[in-house]
Amino acid sequence: MNPIHKKTYFLIGLILLLFNPSCYAHGVDSNTAQFLTSTEGTAIVPFLYIGAKHMVTGYDHLLFLVGVIFFLFRLRDILIYVSLFTLGHSITLLYGVFSQININAYLIDAVIAFSIVYKGFDNLGGFKLLLGKEPNTKIAVLIFGLFHGFGLATKLQDFDLPEESLITNMIAFNVGVELGQFIALLFIVTLLGFWRRHKSYFSFAKTSNTLLMTGGFVLLGYQLTGYFTAI
């Protein structure tokens, strides 16, 4: 077993550990649920909006994306990596909501925070230096995409969806997420594009990715504290 496979199995193990239905109930109260049940049919646009808003204002997803595209210079590469990320989070978003798995939102958000630290460390050349080679970045972005999807699923489950319109609302939310991601990426890619024309982009690359890791660590501490104080 080579080290990359080991890592993959470790991450899969982590996913399984997080499926702990007994420890977590993060839904809305029953009256709200009752109310939401009666708003079926007209909920496509609201869920589209909720999904887009979650992504545009989701600093954890955005920081990770900044890390991913930091050293991607060709539009084609950006498209490939973002597609892998989208594939990953769509799978687990749909799967997580559909199978009504209760994942602890703090823990899943902690993994998302860790993904930011991971990407910052990777960008700093940390893996190349320590392992001699960089773990496959495409696989990494796909696997972290899976975790980000579970995070999205916990947010959507807050709305305690009615059974009948589950698929419609869920897909609306998912499409909203992609719309929001596209909008956010337009800004990120444009801004990074401008900055890349200057030498400062490269002289600040180390600082930028150190700050990215800092952001990841702050979110990690924030989520883990939430997890341990909520028990």
Partner 1 sequence: MNTLPTASIKSLMFSCIASIILAVIILLIAVLPAEYNIDPTGLGEKLGLTVLAQTDEDATIEPTVITCPDSEKEITNQGEVNGWQDSVMITVPAKKGLEYKFHVNKGEKLEFVWKTDGSALYFDFHGEPQGNTTGYFKSFKESNQSESSGTLAAPFTGSHGWYWKNKTNKAVIINLKTRGQYKIKGLM
Interface with partner 1 by CB under 8 A: which residues? 28-29, 31-32, 34-35, 37-38, 71-73, 117, 120-126, 128-130, 134, 137, 205-206, 209-211, 213-218, 220-222, 225-226, 229
Of 36 and 94, which CB lies nearer to partner 1 in the complex structure? 36
| Stretch (H or E) spanning 209 | helix 205-230
CA angle, 134 then 135 then 138, to 5° = 110
Of 75 and 183, which CB lies nearer to partner 1 in the complex structure? 75
Q: What is the DSSP string of 80-129?
A: HHHHHHHHHHHHHHHHHHHTT--B-HHHHHHHHHHHHHHHHHHHTTHHHH
For residues 14 and 12, give the distance between their C-alpha atoms in angstroms, rounded to a whole number.
5
Supply the minimum distance, in Å, between the C-beta of residue 123 and partner 1. 6
Of 167 and 211, which CB lies nearer to partner 1 in the complex structure? 211
Q: Which residues pair with 19 in a beta bridge?
A: 103
Supply the minimum distance, in Å, between the C-beta of residue 19 and partner 1. 26
Check residue 185 and report its DSSP letter.
H
Q: Which residues pair with 103 in a beta bridge?
A: 19
Q: SS3 sequence, 116-173?
A: HHHHHHHHCCHHHHHHCCCCCHHHHHHHHHHHHHHHHHHHHHCCCCCCCCHHHHHHHH
Of 141 and 172, which CB lies nearer to partner 1 in the complex structure? 141
Q: Please compute, for residue 181, the number of CA atoms within 13 A of its CA located in the half-sphere on the CB side.
A: 27
Of 16 and 130, which CB lies nearer to partner 1 in the complex structure? 130
Supply the minimum distance, in Å, between the C-beta of residue 139 and partner 1. 12
Supply the minimum distance, in Å, between the C-beta of residue 49 and partner 1. 16
Of 73 and 98, which CB lies nearer to partner 1 in the complex structure? 73
Place of tokens 């209760």: 102
Supply the minimum distance, in Å, between the C-beta of residue 138 and partner 1. 8
Supply the minimum distance, in Å, between the C-beta of residue 157 and partner 1. 16
